[in-house]
Amino acid sequence: MIESKKNTWLACPPDSDFSIYNIPFGVYKKNNISAVCTRLGDYIIDVKKLAELGYLQSIKLLPIENEVFKQSSLNRFFALGKAKVSEVRNRIIELLTDTNNELLFNDLHRQQTILNIEDVEILKPVEPSDYTDFYSSIEHASNVGKMFRDKDNPLLPNWRHIPVGYHGRASSIVGSGVEIHRPKGQILDSQTNLPIYSPSKKMDFELEMAFITCGETELGCPVSIENAHEHIIGMVLFDDLSARDIQQWEYVPLGPFLGKNFGSVISNWVVLTDALEPFRVNGPKQEPKPLPYLQLEGKNNYDINLEVYIKTEDGVESLVCLSNTKYLYWNIYQQLAHQTVNGCNLKNCGIYASGTISGSEENSFGSMLELSWNATREVKLKNSVRYYIEDRDEIIMKAYAINGDVRVGFGVCKVKIIPAK
């Protein structure tokens, strides 16, 4: 459903990710003070200050609940629950539309609440309590299976029956704009066929989206697929950095470990699922039909365009991947229902990543592993070639959705790889 036309009195470029239809949440810092904020165009709006000046009174927050805006993460805000967070977003949209003059006609309050994005530091939006990484793209799973197992039967027998996933390391999830050292670990030497301790020679990105949970559930209480939406508050871009050679040596028999836990990167704005409603689409047909606890009717995927660029040390950016979240075989509601079906409890601000999102065309493959077919093909950049990520390369991911006049985006998720310590 396309939303009715909205206009805002605050300047916002027509191609901005942060339109009046978005109103995501993040955290800014200025003069060593942090606060919850939202963004419209190139401006941030201080939600803490809106609350202090009385603009959120209609939401009837308790005095202690107003404290959630004076934090360096969104965790306490999101713990209020999806309904309350949605009320805050809707009130901010009301204040910023051109039919409302409450804030528009108060010069002092505008100066106190609206800041230029260039004048503040945007922080990592949440402190993750948990982290699960799924493996939900059939194209990605098939590509990996063709490379390393059986090109005629690339999927393992369970793949079409369950959203495969593993529990990752929440402590090493960082915000966009950081530098991460090339990791060291054991890799298999091709000459001796013995392990050596070495910096990874196969550094990779993984193009993913992740959803964030709100509130908590009790141990032993599954979340049904019909109710999964109540626990998913929003989404971020997610770059699951991977050291493929370390991963390949260690992953049998228990799966990813040091090849994955040295750093994953999230974008700095949480786009609420409310803002993504106009972009719901049908997902791929699931054959065979999933078991009943994973069955959900309707449009449960999202049509979000995804882009990956590699920026080399000389500052030249090259587009290497165009993909879309609509390709995901297992949707976010199935992922959450499967995560909890055994009674696993949810914690507030858990992060649940999709796994690499690849399409069927080569330019839609969401990792260097696939784009270079494990270093057997050149990935052409504007001024050079790559097989994997080299030192001082910057990986830049973007995500945005468009439906008529409605544009909602996630900004950027970027990280620079620097030499191993």
Question: Could you list the active site residues?
Answer: 140
Q: How many Å apart are CA 154 and CA 281, to the nearest integer?
A: 27
Q: 200 and 421 in contact (C-beta within 8 Å)?
A: no
The alpha carbon of residue 89 and the mean position of all alpha carbons in its chain are separated, in whole angstroms, by 19
Report residue 174: phi and psi, to 5°: -125, 170
C-alpha distances (whole Å) from 366 to each of 138, 295, 357 are: 12, 27, 5
- Whole-angstrom distance between the N-terminal and C-terminal Cα of the chain? 51
List b or e across 337-359, with b for residues whose CB sees 16 or more CB atoms inside 10 angstroms. Answer: bbbbbeebebebbbbbbbbbbbb
Nearest-CA neighbor of 171 among 128, 216, 122? 128
* In contact, 325 and 302? CB cutoff 8 Å: yes
CA distance 329 to 279: 17
CB 214 within 8 A of CB 82: yes
What is the chain's length?
Answer: 421
CA 65 to chain centre: 27
| Helical (H) or strand (E) element with 413 | strand 406-418
d(CA 336, CA 297): 16
Classified as helix, coil or strand, 203 is: strand
CA–CA gap between residue 120 and residue 50 (Å, rounded): 17
Distance from C-alpha of 311 to C-alpha of 252, rounded to nearest angstrom: 33
> Would the CA dihedral through 219, 126, 18, 318 be positive or negative?
negative
Those residues with Cβ within 8 angstroms of residue 397's Cβ, 6 or more apart along the chain or in another chain:
205, 207, 237, 239, 267, 306, 307, 308, 309, 412, 413, 414
Buried b or exposed e, range 125-142, using 16+ CB within 10 angstroms = bbebbbbbbbbbbbbbbb
Q: In whole angstroms, what is the distance from residue 380 CA to residue 310 CA?
A: 10
